[in-house]
Structure 1
């Protein structure tokens, strides 16, 4: 059953093998069992407006050499993410790429008050983003750009040769004919944010890049999954030339690029955006390259750093008897599971060329790797304890010393808001000592305190929740002194704490009270420190019984289909008997949730090929006439088997 758990190992160091508890961190009282899920901003349809606005070719504004500053103009009708998630997306993308921008809320600032050039004729912007294509507000609509405003903007784009990106547009003729006509509006799939199946990209509306789209978005592989967003299917209107960038399976257009009759370049998308949507970030690099014409200060790199917390200490897993976290059952990663995490990491590297350098970051608590400790805490440890070489996780860690990146998470996971200077010094130094004894690939200049403590976000007592953000100026001075004494250059803080948010997505920033110490903010997920899964320790017998039933069902279904003369399509990768068995698994074990059944089948390797959810649903729909007779047959067979027993 270990094959079910490698994904969980990437999120928390849990002992799902059921072995005896090892040293654990002090209990946390009153903490939530999970943080709030990432927001799903509302996505609304765009009413059709009549147009176009008459184009007037204003006199040239630009200097002959077309000089302009490296800044993007973002036009929106609201700064509120709930009203304009597309503006929030534009803001997040530009900040992620460290691109200067000026945002204008046209509901508050008339466009006529926005200077486009300097007195010497230098343009102020190298590109323009329209968060929404009509720049109108509803109900109404209230048009926030006049005819004069549109012509002034178009003249600037034309004369300075800057491009216009429209993040969300209705395919129509306002404010100008964009060469597309509306076919149908639709709300793409929106799985619940707290549903584990939300990670399944099969719950999306897939669109594919055209050859021209692949040229502009070379990072995309396969389809672009749309979800949680209103979208418009469009067709070429034939009134002007345009080049489709994205189409669905029926050939409907979802994005296009064109050059207007007066020479302006424009890229528009007919589906909504948000800083929390997967498709927005898949498009972001290509949109930035196109808009800036490849000229911006910075370097595009892919970053994925995943922390495995509390290595060597145990984690409290809530149960029905202990639904909170304080006295819940402790679990600890086993040596076998550590080896499986390394194997899973290598499989990821092999499966995805872009993940060749992906390496887990292990947050090390050395107290759990030494002899003689019970609960890890300053009062329970003396320091200098020898390694517990009989511990299977210690043995596995030594074998995996170069497989992961290890760094200092404090010796006992103590709350640094309440540490004395000697305690803070020992928390850092003892962990360095254990890492050295283990011979790890270890970064001693990086440090993460337990619960991001010591930096002004604290409760009344150690590990208390809720916590109050007193700001970085309230950081514990003994803790800061210990960090500097041990030459720590980078300390981790939490993006969820307001005073600890960095100035940009990829920035480290200096601590105001500790020269030379830089803070890096961990990005939050909705996975808390104590996640569990549907397979808990002791469930192996239950799962074995489930598998026995499934195998029997598969054999009966397969024989019945052969007797009925059913033949699979030669191109089908998954036989009909497997599809029907998976449907049965979903009905019996997961309340009809196909995604969970497919995920379990893939983890267990039940079949050579487990289809995607969308493909599974299509196959099951085609097999529906056979489903009820086969279920009746299974019921009869099981009835006779029980009678025989």
Structure 2
């Protein structure tokens, strides 16, 4: 009996052992690796080009497949995904298509994309498509609208504010810059009954209070699509307002690159006086555009009251102006006015309200020696015919003397910053096609690292001696006017035809700045120039462009004509953006650093030297040594150190963004993002309705840039 019990026990143990061996716990499937790169499939239209431009600007890596290009890669399962070290890899974190299916019915490429998106939970953006049931919307004929949205006011919905467009206050106004050009065609529609469609941006439907979707998320068949049903290009304000949200939606808030809204304003010639436009001579006596000895000089200079107003304005608007100063201007005023300078006393008393930038001591031209005996001026020549240049010693003295004057006045300076008068020393076409060869040495002698340049002449940064240039946007509020009527008179002279009393540069010109008729001197500034300059400045502000704008001290004097433009820009921005998306107002050296780091990063991205991916909630970024990494991540993201972690980035527009580098003893950036990864979409089917139109209308709608007239 004992033998039987022992045999049974042994048998049971053997069975148990056998069961354990044949039924092990299943191994967990590895979490996929998602590369932080976007796939942009383009048909050559403006919508995909606009999204690609946003990715370029932010520094977000993407691969472009041009459907019009012979020999383009075929989109297949192998093109989209593979395996790395035994782990499934999605090569793209998002897909941008020109519409919901640019390949046609039954396409193997579209089938491969759909499978890929379902497998890896990859979002898809339909850059511009019809409103129809295939994208979760009714046809416009079924209670919607198709046509122009020029001048319309779209609105971000509650879901849009709670989601990808939470950085906007609500309004998305559509531009209407020309009564003769259609700028934004749209299909405005309501979701199909039963479709899982969430409107994010809606536009008004004609004839009532109802609205229809123009941007929304459609979830179906395990996929998520952002459906956009209005046409746009990369320059239009309505797109610029939505671009950040489109990228954040498709990347699920985790992507390389960053987008912020910048506005800085330099006030040149502070403490100096500016020559005044002569409406009879149509030139500026005392300056190089008038023949020598003609006209009466009547310079424009701020008063102490103007300075007091500037300080109050800056405080009320919570906006810091950059005072670009010439200390010698104050000394000249003292010599001519009994030794006192109330303007300088007031500005220096309020010095902490501003940033201050060296503009040379007496604002001379620091390029070639100018021969002003002719108009336009030419470079003076030496006896051997070579160009006569301002010397290295003179350039250096102008830098040092003004720096010393500012230090004696207690101005809070960054001594490495410099703005030369009229950006002189740098090449100036047509008279001076090269830099003053003495400029680089003088900059190095005086440890200048940040040198202003004119963005209308050269947009990109470049190295000159020890300095990198910072291109500045000139505003068409002229240096030689203090009153609105003077501004209008000079504007009319430049931008009207000879038959209208103008200079004639607009003869047979398609330039959009040229006027059909002269502006009214009494109303032209407020009714035409201010709105135009506001729109141009806003186009820079919302384009992720940190370059500063510049005007002159004369524009803060007399009629104080700068303030209507600045007020309009600040109001327009504030009306459109939520409190979590403030204007970024940087000083010149910080702007230069941002441009430099962007250039290095974008060069690394475009040359394929950046590798970045997400596995679950872990993000890894490998960049070339010395190249800092820029990224946008969800709130709560931390950067992992060798021991512990530190917060990543700074808050902006509902995300964290910023520049970083590998931690100590690490060769890559390691981040941890909070919360779960978004899952695949739910599935709901749309009901069939009537047939759509055959083609998407694509209006011209590309606004050309307004040129600068070249005044300093």
**TM superposition score category, shorter chain reference:** 0.5 to 0.7
CA contact (8 A) 1:66 1:161 kept: no
> For residues 490-537 of structure 1, what are the alpha-carbon distances to aligned partners after superposition, in whole Å with 9 as ceiling and x for unaligned?
222233335x425xxxxxxx61x53x5333222455545446664559
Alpha-carbon distance change, 588 to 494 in structure 1, aligned in 2, over 3 angstroms: closer
Counterpart in 2 of 1:161? 121
Counterpart check, 1:181 vs 2:139: yes
Alpha-carbon distance change, 391 to 219 in structure 1, aligned in 2, over 3 angstroms: same
Alpha-carbon distance change, 300 to 417 in structure 1, aligned in 2, over 3 angstroms: same
Alpha-carbon distance change, 94 to 525 in structure 1, aligned in 2, over 3 angstroms: farther
TM-score (norm 2): 0.53
Counterpart in 2 of 1:248? 203
Distance 1:212 1:75 in 2: 28
TM-score (norm 1): 0.58
Counterpart in 2 of 1:233? 188
Alpha-carbon distance change, 386 to 529 in structure 1, aligned in 2, over 3 angstroms: closer
Of the three residues 368, 387, 403, the one matched with 1:432 is 403
Counterpart in 2 of 1:495? 455
Residue aligned with 2:130, SS: coil
- Give the Å deviation of 1:421: 0.3
Counterpart in 1 of 2:268? 309
Distance 1:388 1:487 in 2: 36
Counterpart in 1 of 2:35? 69
Counterpart check, 1:399 vs 2:349: yes
Distance 1:118 1:344 in 2: 59
Distance 1:156 1:388 in 2: 80
Distance 2:483 2:230 in 1: 35
Residue aligned with 2:139, SS: strand
Of the three residues 88, 106, 110, the one matched with 1:150 is 110
- Structure 2 residues not aligned, in runs of 5+: 1-28, 176-182, 369-389, 490-519, 535-558, 565-570, 573-712
Alpha-carbon distance change, 316 to 334 in structure 1, aligned in 2, over 3 angstroms: same
Counterpart in 1 of 2:59? 98
Of the three residues 132, 141, 153, the one matched with 1:172 is 132
- Give the Å deviation of 1:425: 0.1
Distance 2:338 2:235 in 1: 44
Of the three residues 85, 89, 95, the one matched with 1:128 is 95
CA contact (8 A) 1:107 1:144 kept: no
Alpha-carbon distance change, 219 to 317 in structure 1, aligned in 2, over 3 angstroms: farther
What do you get for the CA RMSD once the two structures are aligned? 4.0
Alpha-carbon distance change, 151 to 135 in structure 1, aligned in 2, over 3 angstroms: closer
- Give the Å deviation of 1:246: 1.7
Counterpart check, 1:272 vs 2:231: yes
Distance 1:128 1:533 in 2: 53
Counterpart in 1 of 2:444? 484
Counterpart in 1 of 2:644? none
CA contact (8 A) 1:126 1:163 kept: yes
Question: How many residues align structurally?
Answer: 429
CA contact (8 A) 1:490 1:518 kept: yes
- Give the Å deviation of 1:267: 1.4
Counterpart in 2 of 1:334? 303
> For residues 381-427 of structure 1, what are the alpha-carbon distances to aligned partners after superposition, in whole Å with 9 as ceiling and x for unaligned?
xxxx9998523321221122111101112223333332310111012
- Give the Å deviation of 1:429: 0.8
CA contact (8 A) 2:268 2:325 kept: yes
Q: Which has the larger radius of gyration?
A: 2
Alpha-carbon distance change, 178 to 410 in structure 1, aligned in 2, over 3 angstroms: farther
Distance 1:155 1:252 in 2: 34
Distance 1:361 1:283 in 2: 30
Distance 1:298 1:100 in 2: 8
Counterpart in 2 of 1:290? 249
Residue aligned with 1:133, SS: coil
- Give the Å deviation of 1:245: 1.0
Alpha-carbon distance change, 284 to 256 in structure 1, aligned in 2, over 3 angstroms: closer
Matches within 5 A, 1:403-422: 403-418=353-368, 419-422=390-393
> For residues 58-101 of structure 1, what are the alpha-carbon distances to aligned partners after superposition, in whole Å with 9 as ceiling and x for unaligned?
xxxxx9523232112222222xxxxx433442233223322112
Counterpart in 1 of 2:157? 210
Alpha-carbon distance change, 113 to 170 in structure 1, aligned in 2, over 3 angstroms: same
Distance 1:280 1:218 in 2: 15
- Structure 1 residues not aligned, in runs of 5+: 1-62, 79-83, 137-142, 190-203, 350-357, 374-384, 462-467, 469-473, 503-509, 540-586, 606-611, 614-645
- Give the Å deviation of 1:340: 1.4
